[in-house]
Amino acid sequence: MYPRPWVLATAPLSVLSAVGYHRLVGDYMVSHCALMRPLSLTLMICLAGCHLLFPFEAPDPPQDASGDTSVVDGSPPDAPLSDAARADASIDLQLLVEAGPTCGMGLVSCLGVCVPGDDCSACSGGTLLCKATRACVSSCAGCFDGSKKPMPIECYACDTKQANPIGTCESSSPSDYCLKADYGLAHRGKAGLHCDCSDTKVSNCLGDHQVCLNSGSTDWCVTCGEVGMQTEGLLCKNGGTCDTTLAVPRCN
């Protein structure tokens, strides 16, 4: 009958050397009849015996009262987002998806790729430039300036021949382009005009929140709410009517 491991683990070195038990089979040590064993081997025998007596088991992960095994650090759970916060996050996400990478000067982000240009007239993904991110977007609802001020007004300016439109997202202030109705430097920093809506068809306008006005042989697309243009109640491209009583004039 072979001695138990804990006997070997607690026996004096002289006894272990004389007996010579050293190899583990199951929970026993079997000898090859050696008179002397190195000290390192004796220590290995003792460690093997200790391991059998006191096997190591990893501690269970901490749990809370609900059985959650995530790490408990004592901090309170995160509060749920408010509806306003969720709306802001949705707008930020929309802008992030459309913006793609942040592009430097001389580049704009079209369909998430930086391409040469200073406007979005050639971008199939959106013809409106959100200046702060240099992103071409299809709607200005998610556009802000560098100080997080909303830039919700969709403006289009053409050259002096009412051609080559340039779209930008602008402030809702009536003292700023384009609600100010001043197109003096609106077309690439040069003189511009309202774009043409041939045959007085609002469907020819570029912006959903634009109406078509006519004077003699001249037609032009005007953004809902432009000062002095009397756009209130007129039919818009998106099928709604212009409402200038809103803080941000829109076509509903």
pLDDT in tens, 126-160: 999 999 999 999 999 999 999 999 999 999 999 99
Domain count, the chain: 3
Spatial contact of 133 and 110, defined as CB atoms under 8 Å apart:
no
Asked if the structure places residue 63 within a domain, the reply is no
- Assigned domain for 80 exists: no
CA distances from 232 to 51, 56, 198 (A): 87, 80, 21
Are the beta carbons of 165 and 127 closer than 8 angstroms? yes
CA gap 170, 140 in Å, rounded? 8
Among 162, 169, 166, residue whose Cα is nearest residue 187: 166
Residues 172 and 137 in one domain: no
- pLDDT tens digit string along 31-78? 333 333 333 433 333 344 444 334 444 455 555 555 554 444 554 555
- Tell me the pTM: 0.61
For residue 119, give the amino acid letter: D
Q: How far apart are CA 174 and CA 211, in angstroms?
A: 17
Name the residue range of residue 115's domain.
89-145
Q: Indicate if 130 and 221 belong to the same structural domain.
A: no
Q: Pairing between strand 166-170 and 210-215?
A: unpaired
Are the beta carbons of 50 and 67 closer than 8 angstroms?
no
